[in-house]
Chain A
Amino acid sequence: MASVDRELKDKIPTFESTGAAEAGVGNWSSAASTLSLIKGGRDAMLIVITAIVIFGGLELTLRLFQVPVYIAPTPSQVITALITDFQYIGPHIGYTLIELLTGFAIGASIGFVLAALITQFPLVEKIVAPYILLLVTTPMLALVPLLILKFGFGFTPRIIAVALASGPMVMINAATGFRRTDLAKIALARSFGASTLQIFLKIRIPMAMPMVIVGLMIGSIFGLLTAVGAEMVGGSFGLGNRLTYYSSLIQMPQFFACILVLAMIGISIYVFFYWLGKKWAGWEA
């Protein structure tokens, strides 16, 4: 009797749902750990104090050894340049943000929709997966000269590059999320008469949300990198272009002021998606 039972137990995937649910847990913890990296509002104080020590120390050291401005400006010189030259730098912040937001909005929407669609058809997913990986791993910056040739020096090639860089990143992560099909939860919704669309909206999307947010975060950071890189390749506006411009004139305070702005944009993206993750995917942590 006992041996029969054990044999049966081994063969039972305790119904269709459980196996899939366990696979989902695996995916899930990777997402959770990514999110938890940015966790720690409590650590914020420590981070601020460390920053003050580092930048204060830098200021003192540079002044003490009288390092010339064209080699390394002091933090205060950088801040001063940012304020006094803001009328010149400001518009370029706007240009970069326009490229980033437009390109990211296009790329992320397409990536999200494709991920949602493709994961419904395992065979299609298998066929398409290598190409998505190719898009994720190829630096889209490499395409920028070609895009400029085709679309000129305006916003278009940059927006396309940003979309190409962020879209696949969103897609690959969102697809991981959408693959977490917990059949027990789907059966639950079905048992109350849910339609396929309702199951998608009420079960699949919320379940995918933590991974989608991870994808959006990584995608937008990649988008920022690509926007700045594309601006360096050609054209006469945007923060990337200002970096080449100021370095060619050896205006180091202005150069570092642009880097400071870029860093702040990057951090804002991070914080925004951290907040979004807490709000929409907090149940996972």
Chain B
Amino acid sequence: MRESGQPKLVVANASKSYDTGSGVVHALADFSMDVQPGELACLLGPSGCGKSTLLWAMAGLHGLSSGEVRLDGRPVIEPNPQIAMVFQEANLLPWRNLIKNIELPFEIRHQKPDRARIDALLEEVGLAGFETKMPRELSGGMQQRASIVRALSVDPSLLLMDEPFGALDAFTRDEMNLLIQQIWLETKKTIVFITHNINEAVFLADRIFVMSARPGRLSRVFEIDLPRPRPLDAMTTPHFIELVAEIKGSIDHKSQTQAA
């Protein structure tokens, strides 16, 4: 299914330990994966298995204890203009209105905001007309949409998303997943999407990278061959349910062997 060019993103033997006061926490252990250009990859694993640790390393926000992350063949050791991140909970600055929040990356880079691009994105996510609203005046879903616009406004080639919809209710989450799929189909950006929700992962992903419980290792990779665009009711098809069950089984099996 994947053409064998140069991968967009490579994680090679990544390990990371945190030195806490009360001992060393091994968050990631010898984790390797690669993501192809234009792929939508989901990282799936239980809370605390090291997903954020891995994503922050991909974003160049912190270093690894060993191993490396490469973007287009070059090591990522600091934040990179080609990479944008969407955080858990929208992470808007509450003292800035919506448009000022979206313009933050341009301000930081001393660039003129790309108005045409921003307006088109706002239109697409349904936030046109809300530019001067403060974050607290927006619903959780709207806030997260704004943070997606913020990330896309600088036209990154890699979008990292850390459980972006974990705090949203199920209906809003479905809506957001549709939106992500639509944006991805239009822009063909490479996306790494973290979640602990199997349904969400199966709905979105080209490939699902399942992580074991801490220390996070790659336990299995699943190719999701559901046709696109996937409508919400794809989630009720037997094939979808089968995939979810298979992935669930692999995770259960994994933690049982660990507990034993």
Any B CB within 8 A of the CB of A23: no
A185 within 8 A of B: yes
**Provided the pairs A12-B48, A194-B108 are in contact, do residues A206 and B84 lie with their beta carbons within 8 angstroms?**
no
At the interface, is chain A mostly helix, strand, loop or mixed?
helix
A192 engages B47 (CB within 8 Å): no
Task: Decide yes or no: A193 and B47 within 8 Å by CB, A4-B259, A185-B91, A187-B56 being known contacts.
Answer: no
**How many angstroms from the CA of A184 to the CA of B55 in the assembled complex?**
13
Residue among B89, B93, B94 facing the most chain A CB atoms (10 A cut-off): B93
- Decide if B104 is an interface residue (CB 8 Å cutoff): yes
**Whose C-beta in chain A lies nearest to the C-beta of B52?**
A15
Question: Could you say which of A188, A190, A194, A206 contacts B95, with CB atoms under 8 Å apart?
Answer: A206
Is A132 interfacial (CB 8 A cutoff)? no
**A203 interface residue (CB < 8 Å to B):** yes
Q: Is the CB of B252 within 8 A of A190?
A: no
Q: Are A8 and B108 in contact (CB under 8 A)?
A: no
Q: If A193-B79, A202-B107 touch, does A188 touch B46 (CB 8 Å cutoff)?
A: no
Do B87 and A8 have beta carbons less than 8 Å apart? no
> Number of contacting residues on A, CB 8 A?
28
Residues of chain B from 47 to 103 with CB closer than 8 A to chain A in the complex: 47-49, 52, 56, 59-61, 79, 81, 83-85, 87-89, 91, 93-95
CA distance A206 to B91 in the complex (A): 15
Asked if B136 and A202 make an inter-chain contact with CB atoms under 8 angstroms apart, the answer reads no
Contact A192 B108 (CB under 8 A): yes
B48 touches which of A8, A207, A283, A284 (Cβ 8 Å): A8
Q: Kindly state the separation between the CA atoms of A203 and B60 in the bound complex, as whole angstroms.
A: 19
Q: Which of B108, B252, B258, B259 has a CB less than 8 Å from the CB of A193?
A: B108
Contacts of B134 on A, CB cut-off 8 Å?
Answer: 283
What B residues does A14 contact at CB under 8 A? 47, 88
| A5, B47: Cβ atoms closer than 8 Å | yes
B46-A8 in contact (CB<8A): yes
Name the contact of B94 in the complex, choosing from A187, A194, A283 (C-beta under 8 A): A283
Q: Which residues of B contact A193 (CB under 8 A)?
A: 79, 81, 108-109
A189 contacts B by Cβ under 8 Å: yes
- What are the residues of chain A within 8 A of B79 when measuring CB–CB? 190-193
B104 x A202 contact (CB < 8 A): yes
Q: Are B256 and A1 in contact (CB under 8 A)?
A: yes
Residue of A4, A187, A203, A206 near B213 (CB, 8 A) is: A4
Q: Which of A184, A202, A284 contacts B87 (CB 8 A)?
A: A184
Q: Is A198 an interface residue (CB 8 A)?
A: yes
Are the C-beta atoms of A5 and B109 separated by less than 8 Å? no
For residue B38, CB closer than 8 A to chain A, the reply is no
Taking CB atoms, residues of chain A closer than 8 Å to B201 are none
Q: How far is the CB of B241 from chain A (nearest CB, A)?
A: 20
Main SS at interface, chain B: loop
* Contact assessment for A8 and B91 in the assembled complex, using a CB-CB cutoff below 8 Å: no
**Chain B CB within 8 A of A11 CB:** yes
A150 at the binding interface (Cβ < 8 Å): no
Residues of B within 8 A of A11 (CB): 48
Minimum C-beta distance from A192 to chain B (A): 4
B59: chain A residues within 8 A (beta carbon): 191
Question: B105 near A: Cβ within 8 Å?
Answer: yes
Are B108 and A189 within 8 A (Cβ)?
A: yes
Residue from the set A9, A193, A209 with the largest chain B CB neighbour count within 10 Å: A193
Interface residues of B in 124-157 (CB under 8 A from A): 134-136, 154
- Contact status B47-A8, CB under 8 Å: yes
B214 lies within 8 A of chain A by Cβ: yes
By the criterion CB–CB under 8 Å, are A192 and B109 in contact?
yes
Q: How distant is the Cα of A207 from the Cα of B91 in the complex, in angstroms?
A: 13
User: What are the residues of chain A within 8 A of B93 when measuring CB–CB?
Assistant: 185, 202-203, 206
Residues of chain B contacted by A202 (CB below 8 angstroms): 93, 104, 107-108
Interchain CA distance A159-B3 in the complex, whole Å = 75
Neighbouring A residues of B88 by C-beta, 8 Å: 14-15, 184
Q: Using Cβ atoms and an 8 Å threshold, which residues of chain B touch A15?
A: 52, 88
Of residues 3 through 57 on chain B, the ones whose CB sits less than 8 Å from some CB of chain A are: 46-49, 52, 56
* Contact residues, A172-190 vs B (CB, 8 A): 184-185, 187-190
Of all chain B residues, which has the CB nearest A21? B89
Known: A4-B259, A187-B61, A203-B93. A192 touches B104 (CB 8 A): yes
Q: List 19 A-B contacts (CB under 8 A).
A: A4-B258, A8-B48, A8-B214, A9-B47, A12-B47, A184-B89, A187-B56, A187-B61, A187-B87, A188-B91, A188-B104, A193-B79, A193-B81, A193-B108, A198-B108, A202-B107, A209-B95, A283-B94, A283-B95
Given contacts A191-B83, A192-B79, A192-B104, list 8 more A-B pairs with CB under 8 A. A4-B213, A8-B47, A14-B88, A15-B52, A15-B88, A189-B108, A192-B109, A202-B107
Q: List the interface of chain B (C-beta within 8 A of A).
A: 46-49, 52, 56, 59-61, 79, 81, 83-85, 87-89, 91, 93-95, 104-105, 107-109, 134-136, 154, 213-214, 252, 255-256, 258-259
